[in-house]
Chain A
């Protein structure tokens, strides 16, 4: 009976914890008493001794449910560091090599935060990360307090940069850009044929922020969200009922936002139900534009859309990066890994221009970043506004056509014409 009581109290506490973590959009950052740690001044580098390596921290979920993406991102960052070092390191620092310190957020905001503190006390000049909005919110607060720049490779929530931070910069499109551009693509794609949408999304800060942005932007374009269905992305094992709910009001299109596993479940449910819609469109969806989705899903993957960040697949340089990654790590590189790879190049560029590894100098250099020869499908160079958003960060609309993820919008980045109405089971 004693065991029973222990088990019950355990279960109850788990339930309470789960309930408390229900909305990770709240971004509760523990503001500890601001300990003003002064960074040790960068050592005078003389030309006689070899220059000390510049430390860069990378925080991603290396274990837990998001470990797949997290490890690919860490590998992307590692590859960038090795390539920069092989090319002679940071010239303005006398050829100083970069040294990557990888940290595991485990997917938990509090762990991400303590890892950020650990990296900063180890003396990093900058941090990149973290794949999740909730974790990034906490890490950004620490970066600001300690005065170490954070370059966000992946994390979508607008509110991260709404705090007036000066030390945080974001490479990927934020939730507003994702939602707004997603709505724009829909209206461009379907014109008058898309009037109503059912939205199925995860209930974390990620899904909620993107869907809100989409709903607002879509309304302005005459597209109405008639159903909004949420689910818990890390505990869900079946989305058939949710998909049936989404299809119930006969929407023109079903829009999906979420991570990889739940995207898979949603896609399966749509195919099983043969939902009678004109298209299924992911917006910032973690699965529908990935190589393994196409590989594992086979013919069923055909005609799924996804409006998401994407590496510039028409650039031969990018093709080379993809090849090197696959040769080295034995799996296909995805855009998340490319963003982490890019983030290291952004930091290296700032170090080069700053001629210093002092975090404050790196921040100042990051603020004036202007990189035209980047690896992403953006309409312009990487350059940050006052809040730290990448001005030209925009998603592209992709569709699985003939077993390949192909860019279909905007016209300037089009690889092939979209298939619309786009469902493989036809109506």
Chain B
């Protein structure tokens, strides 16, 4: 079922592509533009996956719609930026700081803000997370002003001799460029998906997390401290988006709203991939990224239109998402 449906989505995309592409006059002229759209779509899709994984985990386990997710990313973006500006810390080195920092922030938010409202009506939880988001955003505004800043990696356009092969950045693939920081973010998305998947499927903590997600009462009965598991889970979700924040810094901008840009798209990815599914978040992100860039080719200026068309189509035919299971 799972395998079939994702194949259906891919096949559908392929049919659309195969039907439309040769019909278009620009095809002869624009191989490179097409290649660029595919490459950009995959790369930005990787970023969407990165951001969505933590959200999916929190959503799947805690059943919390966390509108503060993008704002948590903003914290990491600023942390990495300040470390770079003041101490010259490379953004990739600052991952060692932002991941634990955001884990602690996540645990704190769950412990003091969300645990007390776990059984409250949904709209109360929504207002709470939205309130946290607004608070973080405006705190950044007060502390760092709204002036957008950015950083450039000194080595983003260097050659790297890996012995077997020399990589000259930005790489050229079929005429499309792959910039170093985007490639790093993409690879990190794959790694993070693998790590998270193993953590949830193969460790004792993962088993406890899954138990707390499926049967909180049962988990309590066999001695799992569900509130603690919730705190750890939210912490892991925040740590994931913390990693995303540091990884996007070299190709995005630094502003109080930088993370919030991703919030809505991350929700779309989570629903598309299936709540709580890490592989779903990965594949969903890539599908959304590709869809958006290919839409830009055929309907210039309406990137996000295509995203929501695909989103609605998936909801109609597979409401639980690509990798989702039918829930209780």
Contacts and interface: CB of A to CB of B under 8 A. Distances in A.
A277 to B, nearest CB: 15
Given A11-B268, A248-B33, A237 B149 contact: no
B275 A4 contact: yes
Contacts of B152: 296-298, 300
Nearest to A298: B152
B148 interface: yes
B271 A7 contact: yes
Contacts of A331: 145, 147
Contact of B170 (A65, A68, A229, A272): A272
A241 B37 contact: yes
Given A11-B268, A68-B148, A248-B29, A238 B44 contact: yes
Interface of A: 1-4, 6-8, 10-11, 14-15, 18, 62-72, 203, 229-232, 234-238, 240-242, 244-245, 248-249, 260-261, 264-265, 268, 272-273, 292, 296-298, 300, 331
B308 interface: yes
Contacts of A6: 65, 122-123, 126
Contact of B255 (A4, A65, A232, A300): A65
Given A65-B255, A235-B261, A268-B251, A11 B141 contact: no
B: contact size bracket: 35 or more
Given A67-B141, A241-B296, A264-B150, A272 B177 contact: yes
A71 to B, nearest CB: 5
B36 A241 contact: yes
Main secondary structure of the interface of B (DSSP, over half): helix
B308 A15 contact: yes
A17 B204 CA distance: 44
A68 B144 CA distance: 10
Interface stretch (B228-236, B279-287, B297-305): B297-305
B267 interface: yes
Contact of A71 (B65, B126, B146, B257): B146
A261 B293 CA distance: 19
Contacts of B315: 8
Nearest to B300: A229
Contact of B177 (A70, A235, A240, A298): A240
Given A11-B268, A11-B271, A244-B36, A292 B304 contact: no
7 contacts: A10-B126, A68-B147, A244-B36, A245-B300, A249-B29, A264-B150, A268-B179
A260 B148 contact: yes
A296 B150 contact: yes
B255 A236 contact: no
